[in-house]
């Protein structure tokens, strides 16, 4: 009784457009905005623009980004809110949505663990959560695969990658991460996840530690920056 009354006077609005009220079953996005965020379908193909960025650099099984990134578009606004607007539910909702697509393909059912790119404790404290972990949580819910932040840690506080060149990005994160409990990951299929992939420097820095555990590695991010 109380919830319908609250919705009447204080409707939950779509986190993307900030105009349309959310229906009871909707947690973050209205139907219109959900329709406008187009999946890439890269997860269906072993060769795609994401995988190509790692050719000759990382021995990965599959790589995909979930949605097309359009500058000034809905997805860019959502990611900004996820990272800087204290809206962790955006990552969870996008993860659940894309996880349902992954669950339809046999290859992705072989994933044993989902591991998010970690934040340094200082940055996590400032933000209140790790946005990549919220994305991992949503994927986990739809795929039925456990996710964990205990294996990969960020050991050093690095500067923002936003204004750095490709070479500077790689140098900035080359020794930023530490792998723990590698024996528990040995010979497992690991899905390494992050929010937006640009040069792939952060993913590569994380991957070089995970690969020491003799794992099979796949990479899934929300979007690929142009």
Question: What tens digit of pLDDT does each residue of 177-197 get?
Answer: 899 999 999 999 999 999 999
Q: What is the pLDDT at residue 192?
A: 98
- 92 has pLDDT over 50: yes
pLDDT above 70 for 165:
no
| Whole-prediction pTM | 0.87
Find out whether 101 and 43 touch, Cβ atoms under 8 Å: yes
Of 17-21, 40-44, 138-142, 149-153, the poorest mean pLDDT is in 17-21
How many Cα neighbours within 13 Å face the side chain of 193?
31
Instruction: Please write the tens of the pLDDT for every residue from 1-23.
Output: 444 444 444 567 888 888 788 87
- State the pLDDT at residue 158: 60
> What is the pLDDT averaged over residues 42-58?
95
The rounded percent of the chain whose pLDDT value lies above 70 is: 87
The more confidently predicted of residues 218 and 73 is 218
Mean pLDDT score of the chain, rounded to an integer?
87
* Cα 147 from Cα 192, distance rounded (Å): 10
Which domains, ranges and CATH numbers included, belong to the chain?
38-224 (3.40.50)
């Amino acid at each position: 009784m109380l919830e319908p009354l609250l919705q009447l006077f204080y409707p939950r609005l779509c986190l993307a457009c900030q105009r349309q009220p959310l229906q009871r079953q909707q947690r973050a996005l209205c139907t219109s905005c959900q329709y406008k965020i187009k999946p890439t379908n890269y997860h269906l193909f072993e060769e795609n623009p994401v995988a190509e960025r790692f050719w000759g650099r990382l021995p990965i099984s599959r790589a995909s980004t979930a949605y097309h990134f359009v500058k000034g578009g809905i997805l860019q606004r959502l990611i900004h809110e996820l990272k800087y607007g204290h809206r962790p539910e955006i990552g969870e909702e996008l993860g659940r949505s894309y996880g349902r697509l992954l669950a339809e393909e046999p290859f992705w059912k072989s994933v044993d663990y989902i591991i998010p790119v970690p934040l340094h404790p200082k940055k996590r404290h400032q933000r209140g959560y790790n946005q990549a972990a919220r994305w991992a949580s949503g994927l986990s819910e739809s795929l039925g695969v456990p996710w964990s932040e205990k294996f990969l840690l960020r050991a050093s506080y690095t500067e923002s990658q936003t204004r750095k060149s490709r070479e500077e990005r790689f140098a900035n994160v080359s020794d930023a991460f530490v792998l723990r409990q590698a024996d528990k990951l040995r010979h497992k299929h690991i899905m390494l996840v992050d929010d937006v992939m640009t040069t792939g420097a952060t993913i590569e820095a994380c991957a070089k530690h995970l690969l020491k555990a003799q794992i099979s590695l796949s990479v899934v991010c929300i979007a690929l920056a142009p």
